[in-house]
Structure 1
Amino acid sequence: MPFPSPGHPAVEAYLTEGYDSVVGMSSRFAASICARLLRLQTEEGVSGPIAEIGAFEGRFFIALAHALDPGEVALGIDIFEWPDAGVKDRFEANCLKHGIAPERRVTIKADAGAMAPADLLKHAGGKTLRLIHIDGEHSRAALTKDLALATACLADGGLLVLDDMLHPGYPTLMVTVQNYLEAHPEIVPLCIIDRETIVAATKFVLCQRSWFERYQTRMLEIFKEQLWPLGADFEPHWCMVLALDTRLAAIT
């Protein structure tokens, strides 16, 4: 099954020529889909900055930043201490090497879970965020805090992208997501981006309920070659599943 077009020549070039050279575990399939979702937002009149919680060395961050319109900025948030103190310098160097100039990004060395929404919005120039990718500490407590921060800073029409969902190494994160969805009925799953491997794991994309039909209508056409036929049942909410392998199990 082919990868979907990311909808941006700069993203396409980076995914083809540079993505695998940046240390990280994020899926190229997911990066292509999220870049295309940013273009879809632009087409639907949603604009503004984006943020990644857990930027690490910049693999996924660079793809997202290339998908932004002129004047929009990407915020990279990380404690930048793991696996060593040089990770922040490598993040900055990777951004420069792959075409994300300093004026197009803001590097924030901080624990996102300890940030107040006002602090994050200040870094974003007072603007709410149209996409927030959460790939921070993989614990229930940390994800709960990151979701609270992201929800408070999300723009109308914004998207929350959650990394390493359904990962066998972090099985309890789904409990946090389910608790969050029950506490925030205004937010629903928009799609699941299936894994490439155990390392390049599944992502959930969430949106405001008021935007679900609007986005879904467009996405069913944009990603028609990547649609897994049965979709995902969140009881009672249904959303699409985007996958490289869209086969159903054979019944014999």
Structure 2
Amino acid sequence: MIDISSGHAALDAFLAGHYLRIRGMSSRFAAAICGHIMRRQTALGITGDLLEIGTFEGRFFIAMAMLLAPDEHGVGIDVFTWPSARVYDHFLANCADAGLDAHSYTAWKTDTRTITADDLRAKLPAGAARFVHVDGEHNVECLTQDLELAHAVLHPDGVIVIDDMLHPGYPTLVTTVLDYLARHPEMRVLCIIDRESITAAAKFVLCRVDRVASYEQDLMTTFAKFHYVLGAYVTGYLTLVLTPDPTLPKVD
């Protein structure tokens, strides 16, 4: 198991045990880093709700919901029909088992292709989300819609985290994200969180260009041992890469 900490004791305890017992594919490595991002937001006085599109049985949603303040709310969206209708009950049971207050979150059973930004905003008590995780249907139509919904409700200081980037099973999915960035030049990739395995896949962390400084150096310092120092260029920006093994080969 990778030795990584979010810095939040309750979340780290959850990630060390209960997290991996909940069916799902988001990596523990990414969850620790994303949990730290939410801690960073709280330290900076950034408040807002949590939104996840593609909640499945709640593994990642529960982890992030543990970082919410008492007056913040989590909204998990899913059709809750795959692989069976039982996934909805499993989600609720997993939230209860993890100790989430039933009033602190909403499980919204819907297809995001059928809702508007106003519909979504009405589900967020704060009117905006400081942390959005997008892990819905992996096709151009759905991801395009999910990103536009996320963008519409994003807190000015918030982040959008997109799962399954650069995944061998979805090799062209990243082009939909690049199209989104072209439509919204005020946004950029803040960080690439590398994969643990083919299923525990890589994530892109996006934020507004003028908010990068709020997060970047803190992430580099906190997760220095996971920093791939060569980085990556995405849409013209040198982008932070965090990976379980940042070792570079000797070339000279």
Give the TM-score category using the shorter length. over 0.9
Residue in 2 aligned with 1:67?
67
Residue in 2 aligned with 1:51?
51
Equivalent pair of 1:3/1:244 in contact (CA under 8 Å)? no
- In structure 1, distance between residues paired with 2:218 and 2:76: 29
Amino acid at match of 2:39: R
Give SS of 2:95's match.
helix
Residue in 2 aligned with 1:241?
241
- In structure 1, distance between residues paired with 2:227 and 2:162: 19
Give SS of 2:71's match.
coil
Residue in 2 aligned with 1:193?
193
Give SS of 2:164's match.
strand
Superposed, 1:1-252 pairs within 5 Å as 2-251=2-251
Amino acid at match of 1:63: A
- In structure 2, distance between residues paired with 1:4 and 1:22: 19
Report sequence identity in percent: 45
Equivalent pair of 1:10/1:67 in contact (CA under 8 Å)? no
Equivalent pair of 1:193/1:243 in contact (CA under 8 Å)? yes
- In the superposition, the TM-score normalised over structure 2's length comes to 0.97
Amino acid at match of 2:20: D
Deviation of 1:126 (Å): 4.8
Give SS of 2:56's match.
coil
- In structure 2, distance between residues paired with 1:250 and 1:182: 36
The answer to which of 191-200 and 60-69 deviates more is 60-69
- In structure 1, distance between residues paired with 2:234 and 2:126: 34
Amino acid at match of 2:38: L
- In the superposition, the TM-score normalised over structure 1's length comes to 0.97
Give SS of 2:230's match.
strand
The answer to which of 119-128 and 163-172 deviates more is 119-128
Amino acid at match of 1:191: C
Amino acid at match of 1:117: A
The answer for unaligned runs of 5 or more in structure 2 is none
Count of residues in correspondence between the two structures:
252
Deviation of 1:2 (Å): 4.8
- In structure 1, distance between residues paired with 2:124 and 2:147: 17
Give SS of 1:230's match.
coil
Amino acid at match of 2:70: P
Q: Flag as ranges the 4+ runs of structure 1 deviating above 4 A.
A: none
The answer for unaligned runs of 5 or more in structure 1 is none
Deviation of 1:114 (Å): 2.0
